[in-house]
Amino acid sequence: MSILFRAIPLLMGAVCLGFGWYVLSGGTDAGHFVAGHVLISLTAICIALFTTAAMIIRQLTNTFAPAWKFVLPILGYTVAAVTMGWGLWLRGSSAAADAFVAGHVVFGVGLIAACVSTVGTASSAFTRISRNSAGRHEDGPPAEVYGAAAGWALIAVPAAATLIAAIWAIVLLTGASQPDHYIAGHVMLGLAAICSSLIALVATVVRQVRNDFDEPERWYWALWVLFMGTLTFVWGLFVLLGSDRPERIAPGCILLGLGMICFSIISKVFLLASVWRREFALANRVPLIPVFTCLACLFFAAFLAEAATTDPNFFIPARVLTGLGAVCFTLFSIVSILEAGTSKKS
């Protein structure tokens, strides 16, 4: 099972990469260009999730050498940095609207990959969570885990990514009268919501590793992610139903898919909160949440693909939603690992 859970992120990354190249090579129009580049960029999130899975599983299987504390984060952050650089390059490579949109979205995906890599880095002492959970809050931080300053630095990574994406989105939306700014701005808002949701996951892991997690905050982080997911989903509906602009279809539908990603992240934050110093009989059911969000993305993508046969505005979201479904399924792997690592069953 450990091999399977590490293979799932890589397999889903291969799906995003292969499907992205297939779409990109299928035509020279803006739809193929944008959808292809975005799908390829989603591979970065899958690789970052692989580093998280590998970091935790190697600790659970007692195959964790000190070098992995450096090798896995370096891999994740390097892929994230390359993706962000690629997005900036796309943005500046052409004055065309398709390069403008693709560049911004790819850069935003790179920000998410950096946040996910931070989850893996924060999990470098993951096995301390179950031991801390069996102890008391008064015991304080264990001597062998990273310090308070390092913990705050880890939380600062998704916080900074959220701020960058949100400010950039607002700047783009000030020029929303232009279709490319309108599309890129709304999608960047959704990407900012995912980065914001990952603040909750990183903070939960950091504070449980350091034994700082306490009863008053048990549900705060899960409620924050729920708020981000709901806000993204509702905003997607508003974009879709709030006007008759033809360019609203792509960002509106993609925002719904990004909301599904946020709802997938809830499963991890909720699970860690639910098993902290208490029994949770339904812990092994929590991994079903990202399975359902994956299916929702894939079924929605199927309907959009059919709609695209008569309206080309549905072409991009139909392809991108497929990639978002792959990311949701990768998150199923991570929450399954978390459940195995925090389970109190014998």
**Do 320 and 35 contact (CB within 8 A), yes or no?**
yes
The angle formed by the CA atoms of residues 140, 115 and 187, to the nearest 5 degrees, is 140
Rounded CA gap, 107 and 110, in Å? 5
Quick: pLDDT tens for 174-215.
Answer: 999 999 999 999 999 999 999 999 999 999 999 999 999 988
Rounded CA gap, 97 and 101, in Å? 6
Chain centroid to CA 11: how far?
16
3-state secondary structure 122-162: HHHHCCHHHHHHCCCHHHCCCCCCCCHHHHHHHHHHHHHHH
Q: What is the pTM of this model?
A: 0.95
Q: Where are the alpha helices (DSSP H) in the chain?
A: 2-24, 30-60, 68-93, 97-122, 128-133, 148-173, 179-209, 220-241, 249-274, 288-307, 315-342
Question: The tokens of 338 are what?
Answer: 């978390």
Rounded CA gap, 145 and 237, in Å? 44
Rounded CA gap, 126 and 31, in Å? 42
140: left (phi over 0), alpha (psi -120 to 50) or beta: left
What local confidence, expressed as pLDDT, does residue 156 receive?
A: 97
Per-residue pLDDT 10s for the chain (346 aa) are 778 888 999 999 999 999 999 999 998 899 999 999 999 999 999 999 999 999 999 998 888 888 999 999 999 999 999 999 999 999 998 889 999 999 999 999 999 999 999 999 999 998 888 888 888 888 888 888 999 999 999 999 999 999 999 999 999 999 999 999 999 999 999 999 999 999 999 999 999 999 999 888 889 999 999 999 999 999 999 999 998 999 999 999 999 999 999 999 999 999 998 888 888 777 788 889 999 999 999 999 999 999 999 999 999 999 999 999 999 999 998 888 888 777 654 3
What local confidence, expressed as pLDDT, does residue 340 receive?
A: 76
| Torsion angle defined by CA atoms of residues 138, 144, 148 and 153, in that order, rounded to the nearest 10 degrees | -140
Q: Is the dihedral of CA 160, 290, 49, 54 positive or negative?
A: positive
> Hey, what amino acid is at 319?
R
End-to-end CA distance of the chain: 17
Rounded CA gap, 155 and 108, in Å? 18
Question: The tokens of 195 are what?
Answer: 């980065």
What local confidence, expressed as pLDDT, does residue 46 receive?
A: 96
Rounded CA gap, 232 and 234, in Å? 6
Rounded CA gap, 99 and 234, in Å? 28
Q: Is the dihedral of CA 320, 322, 324, 327 positive or negative?
A: negative
